Amino acid sequence: MLSYFFKRLGLAAAIVSVAMFLLFCMIYLIPGDPASVALGPRATEEMRAALREKMGLNQPVLVQFWNFYIGAWTGDLGDEVLSGRPVTTVVFEQLPYTLALIVGGITWSVALGIPLGCWAAVSRGSWADRIVGILSVAVIAVPSFVIAIYALLIFSVELRWLPAIGAGEPGDLGDQLRHLILPSLAVGLGWVGYIARMVRASMLEVLEASHIRTARAFGLPDRTITYRYALSIAILPTVTLLGVGIGQMLSSAVFAEIVFARPGVGKLVYDAILTRNFPIVTGTVLITTVLFVLLNLLADLIIGALDPRVRSNF
Amino acid sequence: MSEAIFNPAPGRLAELWRPIRKILREPLGALGLFLVLLVIFGAVFADLLTGWDPTKINPRDRFQGPNPTHLMGTDQLGRDLFARVLYGGRIALFVALVSTGVSLVIGIILGLIAGYGPRWLDNLLILLFDAMKSFPTVMLALALVTLMGPSLTAVMVVIVLVTVPGYARIIRTQTIALKTSEYVTAAQSMGASSARILRLHILPNVIGPLVILASMDIPVVIGIEAGMSFLGLGVRPPTPSWGSILNDGFTNIRDTAWIAIAGGVPIIITTLGFTFLGETLRDVFDPRLKGR
């Protein structure tokens, strides 16, 4: 387990390093230099030169990359253009809102996806199974921002059941949760489909297994067999699925934050683009990427701990 | 004798017809095909289906609901929404076709190199694909668009960057599986060059699953274009795109729901259509891919 842990950790570090290199290449190879992007078209040549100096854009490319690389590993992603605050601080202020949204999305997807998948597997081949199958495909297909807008339109604007804007009063947990319902539904609905399909497939596999047959032979009630013995094994692949899914949920969260005017990383980047606050954009991309890689690592480690076969095949 | 007349040898038309019949036999596949054809039809014959100019501003007629003159109503500037939806379909399909095509070509080349080339190159490319996949799509898109400026080209670059790793990986896996097969060894021993082996012996055998995967990716691609345009980072106004119509609908959501409906429904129809069709294609032609 320990050697698997270190190998997997090394791979994650390599992926993050390459991702940083790619991000650096993108910034410096694409036409348009960050100083002009930050200052906008009306800046004078002197202002541009001064900012270039300050951002270290006059140094040789390799030195710039080295500084960027070392800075990133030590948590220094530069300062914001307007206020001069460290980018890391600004991003970490917003991150909890986005994480809450993603946890909400996971809650929706697990709470709906596992029972639906289980139900479909138990009633295999029936009309219920078919409907769950079609619904799963449908919610996967439709982009999350369309779901977000229609959720806003139906539940906030027309029915007025739930609030449309913001993250709720600070300190008032109930209010914050009420503000979380719709955005997290938009984030998680697509994953209801993925999880339902995954649980259905692995349930069908597990229900054929010999220990389930033995349990049947012992005359245990169907209910106990399905929920206690089969489901507890069949939901394991969901962990990996969620590890991969968090990256996509992060993308959906950007839209959900903009549609519901919630604070968060997505809103931060979007506003940074409009104000050309370039260090914020790259900083957020990097931090969310590292987060994504770490969560994938975590999912792999959990699976590795639960299933020895994964460890030996790595 | 009579059998020969009633069952003529399968011609080219029959060859083409057979897969379509297989799809039509599945209700979901038939529905998917119908929706896809509907969208293509609307986009191709946009100028015949509506007399309205999608960019013509007419403030006096703004915020109308659906009526005989404006089939889907009008937006905040009085532009005909039906015309905007039809012409928006052209943008969506254009972006989907061009970027998927480019991405397939790059993915095939990189996948063949990774699968057939030396081990170190394979490892390097795999690391590169994993790193590309580790960027959250929308974050990557936002960063790129900030640098390149909002345009359709930027959107297509994003789509290519996002989809290439997946295509390259599947080609790589299949190439590695075929690399040691007997007919490839035979070709090698007869002195065929690597380029010839890849082109004639490996490519035709690995391309099938890729086409199916690409068709299943089309809804994702259309979603990215609409999403970027929704954020105002894709097509520039006044060019109609489903995403920008949806954005107009979002901005004016308290005045009328019709703009949001006009922008969202085509996105739903198209993504559902392509997904149902893609799933059926996969089940009918390559059940091995199931669960991907």
The whole-number average pLDDT for the span A214-234 is 80
Which of B140, B142, B147 faces A27 most closely, judged by CB atoms? B147
DSSP A85: -
Is B137 in Cβ contact with A248 (below 8 Å)?
yes
> Would the CA dihedral through A5, A240, B286, B278 be positive or negative?
negative
Rounded distance between C-alpha atoms, residue A79 and residue A57, angstroms: 14
What per-residue confidence (pLDDT) applies to A91? 87
The encoded tokens of residue B164 equal 């290439």
The whole-number average pLDDT for the span B151-176 is 89
Residues in CB range of B190: below 8 A, 6 or more apart? none
Share of chain A above pLDDT 70, in %: 90
pLDDT tens digits along A157-215: 878 788 777 777 777 777 888 888 889 998 988 889 989 988 888 888 888 888 888 88
What per-residue confidence (pLDDT) applies to B24? 80
Residues in CB range of B49: below 8 A, 6 or more apart? B42, B86
Is B257 in Cβ contact with A15 (below 8 Å)?
no
Rounded distance between C-alpha atoms, residue A299 and residue A24, angstroms: 28
Contact B133, A293 (CB under 8 A): no
Peptide bond between residue B59 and the one before it cis (omega within 30 degrees of 0): no
What per-residue confidence (pLDDT) applies to B11? 60
Conformation bin of residue A30: beta by default, left when phi > 0, alpha when psi is -120 to 50: beta
Coil, strand, or helix at residue B250? Answer: helix
pLDDT tens digits along B248-271: 888 888 888 888 888 889 999 999
Coil, strand, or helix at residue A79? Answer: strand
Is A251 in Cβ contact with B137 (below 8 Å)?
yes
What per-residue confidence (pLDDT) applies to A122? 84
Give yes or no for residue A30 having a pLDDT over 70. no
pLDDT tens digits along B55-81: 777 778 777 778 877 777 777 777 877
Q: How confident is the model at residue B204 (pLDDT cuts 50, 70, 90)?
A: confident
Which of A137, A152, A266 faces B279 most closely, judged by CB atoms? A137
Alpha helices in chain A (DSSP H): 2-29, 34-39, 45-55, 61-73, 87-122, 127-141, 144-151, 173-207, 210-217, 222-224, 231-234, 236-259, 265-274, 278-306, 308-313
Is A146 in Cβ contact with B268 (below 8 Å)?
yes
Q: Which residue of A lies nearest to B227 if distances are taken between CA atoms?
A: A145
The whole-number average pLDDT for the span A130-155 is 87
B272 or B79, greater pLDDT? B272
DSSP B7: S
Q: A237-249: b or e for each residue (b if 16 or more CB lie within 10 Å)?
A: bbebbbbebbbbb
Give yes or no for residue A312 having a pLDDT over 70. no
Lowest mean pLDDT: which of A112-116, A264-268, B285-289? B285-289
What per-residue confidence (pLDDT) applies to B3? 44
Give yes or no for residue B101 having a pLDDT over 90. yes
Which of B131, B139, B142 faces A18 most closely, judged by CB atoms? B131
Query: Rounded to a whole number, what is the distance in Å from the CA of A74 to chain B's nearest CA?
Result: 20
The whole-number average pLDDT for the span B168-182 is 86
Q: How confident is the model at residue B109 (pLDDT cuts 50, 70, 90)?
A: very high
Rounded distance between C-alpha atoms, residue B233 and residue A42, angstroms: 21
Contact B158, B145 (CB under 8 A): yes
Give yes or no for residue B4 having a pLDDT over 50. no
A34-40: which pairs have CB atoms within 8 A and are 24 or more residues apart?
A34/A278, A37/A276, A37/A278, A37/B146, A37/B147, A38/A81, A38/A276, A38/A277, A38/A278, A39/A276, A40/A276
Residues of A in contact with B230 (CB under 8 A): 145, 255
Coil, strand, or helix at residue B283? Answer: helix
Host H or E run for residue B103: helix B81-116
Give yes or no for residue B291 having a pLDDT over 60. no
What per-residue confidence (pLDDT) applies to A36? 67
Give yes or no for residue A50 having a pLDDT over 80. no
Q: How confident is the model at residue B85 (pLDDT cuts 50, 70, 90)?
A: confident
pLDDT tens digits along B132-160: 887 888 888 888 887 777 888 888 998 99
How many CA atoms lie within 13 Å of B81's alpha carbon, on the beta-carbon side?
Answer: 33
Interface test mutation site (partner B, options A29, A145, A159, A290, max chain B beta carbons within 10 A):
A145
Residues of B in contact with A250 (CB under 8 A): 136, 138-139
Is B127 in Cβ contact with A285 (below 8 Å)?
no
Rounded distance between C-alpha atoms, residue A252 and residue A254, angstroms: 5
Residues of A in contact with B131 (CB under 8 A): 15-16, 18-19, 21-22
What per-residue confidence (pLDDT) applies to A38? 65
- Please state the ipTM of this predicted complex: 0.81
A22 or A39, greater pLDDT? A22
Q: What is the mean pLDDT of chain B?
A: 82
The residue behind tokens 């929920």 is A227
Query: Rounded to a whole number, what is the distance in Å from the CA of B30 to chain A's nearest CA?
Result: 14
Share of chain B above pLDDT 70, in %: 92
Residues of B in contact with A269 (CB under 8 A): 139, 142
Query: Rounded to a whole number, what is the distance in Å from the CA of A221 to chain B's nearest CA?
Result: 30
The whole-number average pLDDT for the span B16-27 is 78
What per-residue confidence (pLDDT) applies to B12? 64
Residues of B in contact with A138 (CB under 8 A): 272, 275
Kindly state whether B94 is in contact with chain A, defined as any CB-CB distance less than 8 angstroms.
no
Q: Which residue of A lies nearest to B222 if distances are taken between CA atoms?
A: A143
The encoded tokens of residue A69 equal 């690389």
Main-chain phi, psi angles of A86, to 5 degrees? -60, 135
The whole-number average pLDDT for the span A126-151 is 88
Lowest mean pLDDT: which of A74-83, A183-192, A278-287, B89-98? A74-83
Residues of A in contact with B268 (CB under 8 A): 142, 146
Q: How confident is the model at residue A309 (pLDDT cuts 50, 70, 90)?
A: low
Rounded distance between C-alpha atoms, residue A35 and residue A25, angstroms: 16
